[in-house]
């Protein structure tokens, strides 16, 4: 199995070579490139390798640009320094993504997946034809920073006013309507469901503690243990209903508050 390593950190290359040798002694590293430019040049002037181990972030940009500049016929396993939560989001069919530092068992599983596909398709050309372009497109979309809502347009008396998200302490539902309160204790109806709000709000700043309540991290004043393995929050400004963290949300809420 001929392998090309695309990685711009010399130490990472050495570690990956060593891990690869331990996992699959038959693997032959036929080349190492450290940038988009050198990778394109290598692929255009060398025989197609069976497999490419490709870091996502290179010194001169994201490695996805390689696919725009030259045809990549090899199977690809991406490597990344993104955190584990993000890594799970990048999982798509047919190509693996390995979290750095790469562990032997993870690389072994990825190589086994590659070999299974090779066996399934019958030859190198078809086994490497894994619709890389569409997979790269999907991954690029996931890597792009998501745009979250910056303000809401709400009714106030006989007019519409714009409220910055940073001014909002929390969102909550009374079962019929959804509201938010601002940090200066103004209350407004918001014309979105709680599920829709979940897609609009930055998860670093807002957390959905239950089906009916969304809090900002600045609004949490005190946290009390509550029966049923739940938590009761004292929020600011005060609210006329209990701000309860549901049992299934408690662990994630604690992690969120502790970041």
Q: What is the pLDDT of residues 43-67, one digit of tens each?
A: 999 999 989 998 888 888 888 888 8
Greater pLDDT, 79 or 117: 79
Structure tokens at 109: 């599983």
All domains in the chain, ordered by first residue = 2-143 (3.40.50.2300), 151-258 (2.40.50.1020)
pTM: 0.50
Token pair, residue 132, equals 């890389």
User: What pLDDT does 140 receive?
Assistant: 63
Give phi and psi for 52, each to the nearest 5: -120, 125
Cβ atoms of 233 and 222 closer than 8 Å: yes
| Residue from 50, 34, 33 nearest 111 by CA | 50
- pLDDT above 90 for 144: no
Residue 122: the pLDDT is: 55
Of 86-90, 199-203, 220-224, 229-233, which range is least confident? 86-90
**Tell me, what's the pLDDT at 183?**
97
* CA dist list (Å): 141 to 44, 67, 213: 27, 15, 29
Exposure string for 18-29, b = 16+ CB within 10 A, e = fewer = ebbeebbeebeb
Pairing outcome for strands 57-58 and 61-62: antiparallel
Sign, CA torsion 104/107/113/114: negative
pLDDT one-digit tens code per residue, 71-95: 888 888 888 776 544 454 444 333 5
What confidence score (pLDDT) does residue 93 get?
A: 34
Maximum CA extent, the chain:
75
Residue 139 or 215, more confident:
215
């Amino acid at each position: 199995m001929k392998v090309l390593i695309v990685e711009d950190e010399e130490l990472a290359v050495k570690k990956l070579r060593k891990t690869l040798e331990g996992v699959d002694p038959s693997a032959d590293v036929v080349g190492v490139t450290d940038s988009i430019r050198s990778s394109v040049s290598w692929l255009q002037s060398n025989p197609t390798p069976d497999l490419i181990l490709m870091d996502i972030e290179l010194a001169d940009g994201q490695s996805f640009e390689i696919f725009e500049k030259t045809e990549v016929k090899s199977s690809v396993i991406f490597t990344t320094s993104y955190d584990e939560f993000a890594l799970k989001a990048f999982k798509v069919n047919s190509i693996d993504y390995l979290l750095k530092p790469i562990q032997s068992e993870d690389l072994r599983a990825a190589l086994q997946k590659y070999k299974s596909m090779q066996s399934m398709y019958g030859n190198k050309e078809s086994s490497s034809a894994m619709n890389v372009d569409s997979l790269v497109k999907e991954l690029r979309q996931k890597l792009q920073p998501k745009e979250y809502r910056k303000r809401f347009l709400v009714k106030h008396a006989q007019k519409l006013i714009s409220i910055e998200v940073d001014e909002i302490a929390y969102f909550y539902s009374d079962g019929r309507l959804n509201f938010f309160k601002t940090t200066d204790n103004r209350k407004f109806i918001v014309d979105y469901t709680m599920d829709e709000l979940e897609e609009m709000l930055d998860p670093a700043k807002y957390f959905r503690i239950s089906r009916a309540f969304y809090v900002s991290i600045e609004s949490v004043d005190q946290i009390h243990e509550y029966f049923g393995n739940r938590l009761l929050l004292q929020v600011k400004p005060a609210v006329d209903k209990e701000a309860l963290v549901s049992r299934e949300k408690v662990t994630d809420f604690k992690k969120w508050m502790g970041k």
